[in-house]
Structure 1
């Protein structure tokens, strides 16, 4: 096979890679979004955030699978967090809404349906306050060096966890060109690599009544997607 023939076939395959999937109903989009937490404390306003990469895709309606015709997404990045007081941190864990759900609900004007919104996110840029019902789950650690000391935080009552004068002022989401945040959370939680396949807390541990199923199921994936960095 000559170099010319190889070059022709390479061009054909490259074109097929980009053109064939849309023709059959497969579509995909990517964008970066930044979640920022703003906390009021006795020593002033504290802010912390993280930029993640969203990968959204759709399978065509003709596929015999339950997800056909809908938009699925996954996140690459780290959870947003803020140091409320020395050694005391508030984390917004990564969850299913960290992908398209929170972005689409926060910026509904970018499109009338999921497909148009996903397409628009590639070029749209803006910041908006996240609605209360689209907040992520919040957690902290009594001892930041001990993953088993994790506990849920009520966003409407941070003072119950962090003391008087501490309150969550708001959460914002920005569609941005900033690079994905990398390794910031590992500097605070150096034990992350040990808990990707097992929960931070023993599922049989009964420290609460009723037991908090979220806390009993959390792994390191709630703070950083595996394989990043």
Structure 2
């Protein structure tokens, strides 16, 4: 019994110094697009895992929540042979990535009375969301959208303005809705890879070569990376 009590005490002390906890969930992003031929839509389920490190012995920059993402981009055939991809990363704004969508959809950080919620309360808010219930994603959190002039050539990627799909896909095409929902459905796999077989196994590479351009001269394909389309479990 004494040994057990000592072991428990050591464990609690270790947790206090180096402790962490984790939370995970799956989220479905859905895009609905209006076209002259009727509505089309697409969705993808990404998995989120967040580890909150709180140990007193950890350096300050190692404390707090950190998360990762698994899954793949939403892909929609807007017109025959013309594809739109809603990326899971790639934007300069975290809100426009899979890590930021829950904050934007559910207002996790701020409570109704204006105070800032801590990590635990944010996770409670998230976990209390009804399953498979779509919530509108505000425009400032819409994911980066891209298409390809030639889907077999990654360097032909180009950004699509979510407010002006008609500029790329023709008159009468517009983004009608973007929603997020918490779900128990499995993470989506296999759709993007079929369309983009040139995607490599690593997330860091850009979609084309760097040829010595300055930042101002860099083509758009250098801003887009393999991992913006697919994030595999590590």
For the residue of structure 1 that corresponds to 2:162, the secondary structure is: coil
Map 1:60-79 onto structure 2 (within 5 A): 60=54, 62=56, 63-68=58-63, 70-79=64-73
Is 1:46 the counterpart of 2:40? The answer is yes
* Cα distance in 2 for residues equivalent to 1:197 and 1:58: 25
CA drift at 1:123: 4.7
* Cα distance in 2 for residues equivalent to 1:163 and 1:34: 28
Contact 2:71 2:188 in 1 (8 A): yes
CA drift at 1:153: 0.6
CA drift at 1:205: 7.6
Residue in 2 aligned with 1:169?
176
Is 1:152 the counterpart of 2:159? The answer is yes
For the residue of structure 2 that corresponds to 1:34, the secondary structure is: strand
Aligned pair in 2 of structure 1 residues 196, 54: CA closer, same or farther (>3 Å)? closer
Aligned length: 212
Residue in 1 aligned with 2:75?
81
For the residue of structure 2 that corresponds to 1:204, the secondary structure is: coil
Residue in 1 aligned with 2:227?
221
Contact 1:110 1:121 in 2 (8 A): no
Aligned pair in 2 of structure 1 residues 61, 111: CA closer, same or farther (>3 Å)? farther
* Cα distance in 1 for residues equivalent to 2:76 and 2:66: 29
Residue in 1 aligned with 2:114?
none
CA drift at 1:176: 0.8
Aligned pair partner of 1:117 in 115, 122, 131:
122
Residue in 2 aligned with 1:31?
25
CA drift at 1:64: 0.7
- Pick the structure with more helix per residue: 1
Is 1:134 the counterpart of 2:141? The answer is yes
For the residue of structure 2 that corresponds to 1:171, the secondary structure is: strand
Structure 2-normalised TM-score? 0.78
CA drift at 1:179: 0.9
Residue in 2 aligned with 1:108?
107
CA drift at 1:111: 7.7
Aligned pair in 2 of structure 1 residues 205, 91: CA closer, same or farther (>3 Å)? farther
